[in-house]
Amino acid sequence: MKKQWQLLQPDIDVVEKIRRELQCNRVIATVLANRKIISKDNALRFLRPSLNNMRPPCSMKDMDAAVKRIYSAITDHEKILIFGDYDVDGITATTILFEFLHYTGADVSYYIPHRTKEGYGLHTKHITDYAIPNKINLIITVDCGSSSNNAVKTASSSEIDVIITDHHEISDKPSHAVAVLNPKRHDCSSDFHSLAGVGVAFYLLICLRKHLRDSHFWQNRPEPNLKSLCDLVALGTVADMVPLVDENRILVKTGLEIINAGKRCGIKTLMEFSGIKNNSVDTEDVAFRLAPRLNAAGRIEHASAAVELMTTNNLKTARQLAQSLNNLNIKRHNIEQKIIEDIFEYLKNNQRVLKNSSLVISDNELDNMWHEGILGIVASRMVKKYFRPVVLIAIKEGVGKGSARSIPGFNIYNGLMSCSDHLEAFGGHSMAAGLKIKAENMDVFKKNFENTVQQMTTHDDFVQTISIDFELNFDDISDTLINELETLKPFGTGNHEPLFIAKNVRVMDSKIVGKNHRRMLLQQSAAGGTGNSFNAIHFNVDTSKNLRDNFDQIAFRLRWNHWNEKKTAQIVIEDIKGQ
């Protein structure tokens, strides 16, 4: 799909002010201005993210009630159950809460539901079939629970208290919960709405540790250093694709440093199986190497294996678990490819479907059975290819379970809310959601969802726009510039890696590497230029097309390429015009 390029044009006086105050390159000043980071103080906080700059977490609604109830459970030796989600956000949130409470000497265990057998979130059956028989006194949910009204009510009637920690959209909070920590609550004024589930759990631990300190709990044992948990917070935050701004930027920056220090046995071992070397993990490695392997546990088998990997200190055990997750990820990839092939075949035979503003497809339309744990990944791939909201549903015994992914111009949670009369359940946020539907309601849901998308969007919402920060000539590329660009990390949602444009680019050499990546040597044919040439890589190209010798324009990122303990400048091409 063709992309529309937008070269950002910040105020030149603002750019010059930033450049002068920070004594930085004009390129860096422009990038900061494009991100509305214009004061010196804000720029320094952005460039030097520190845990000292985090806002007080105790401002979150219900925090005091949650902390006091957990303190009581610890000191009275009550049985505490952490109830988590099966994705990386839920896995890491479960782990940090479990490790902290275990350190306090609490009687704590965790429970993560099986994705396909039990589904998402806390349900009544978890109370009746597990919590009550195991004499649980307190349940703390992580990355789920905001819509678990019936389960919380059942727990309360059985004298089991529930504390909800979550970050998903919430309408009516569970009224029988002791506390509901969710920054998306309409009555929560903390302004922490960008936190991932693991971020909310981490904030709970900050406040709980302080309450324990004020209560002289740590007199007979060292107070734990919560910074050591930031490696897990970083994993969950990046994997859940929440904006890497404010506290999230601080937590991820800190967490990546801890990951690269190699202090957690499970992460270090997983890095080895992911092919990550030199302790140089960045957000891209987390998103595309570590997170998929951790997610594979919950998608294919059970997420508890990922928690075991994150908590073990035994190298042999860690390697066995990491090997298992790696194998599951290979299996996940193969299943994913088969579903993608099914969808492409279906669209080839039903091209009218691509005239719609949305794609809603179920496996019974293809006479195949899809693995519901893989649908979220495939839906994301379809959004990237067709740039419209996508809902994929696997139907079994008359009931469909599906994953929905969206584009920036359409809030998919609100879209599903508009069609909720046809759904058994749904939940999520603006860009991603899950749903449950009876097979008999599929046709009417597809029709109403398509109408909803059309009503809530405009034509411009379906034009994929890439924002370009700066027109950068090859002669202006230097080691110093790339090093300064490194200070803008971590990159991700809400802080995309700077994108540049260069004109009149000549291809000096080219070859295909892997299956469909093109490696090139590029030189700019600019008047008066020195003719500097740079290595470039263009991922996922159409190898059937002939490559021209010249490009009118390229949109690209600029990075260090680390190879054989050396680093060289590399251009990573995002898009090409005139090829």
Pick the CATH number of 4-8+466-577 from 3.40.50.300, 2.40.50.140, 2.30.30.100, 1.10.260.40: 2.40.50.140
According to the model, what pLDDT value does residue 366 have?
A: 84
Rounded to two decimals, the pTM is 0.92
Residues of the chain with CATH 3.90.1640.30: 57-228
Q: What is the second-level CATH architecture of the domain 350-462?
A: Roll (3.10)
According to the model, what pLDDT value does residue 363 have?
A: 92
Ramachandran region of residue 401, left (φ > 0), alpha (ψ -120 to 50) or beta? beta
Termini Cα distance of the chain: 15
571 forms bridges with which residues in the sheet?
536, 558
The amino acid sitting at 78 is: E
Is residue 148 within 8 A of residue 122, CB to CB? The reply is yes
| CATH number belonging to domain 57-228 | 3.90.1640.30
According to the model, what pLDDT value does residue 38 have?
A: 94
Length of the chain equals 579
Residues of the chain with CATH 2.40.50.140: 4-8+466-577
* Residue located via tokens 């990046």: 238
According to the model, what pLDDT value does residue 549 have?
A: 83
Distance CA 478, CA 272 (A): 32
Given a cut of 70, the residues of the chain with pLDDT beneath it are 1, 526-530, 579
According to the model, what pLDDT value does residue 143 have?
A: 96
According to the model, what pLDDT value does residue 579 have?
A: 60
Residues of the chain with CATH 3.10.310.30: 350-462
Rg (CA), the chain: 25
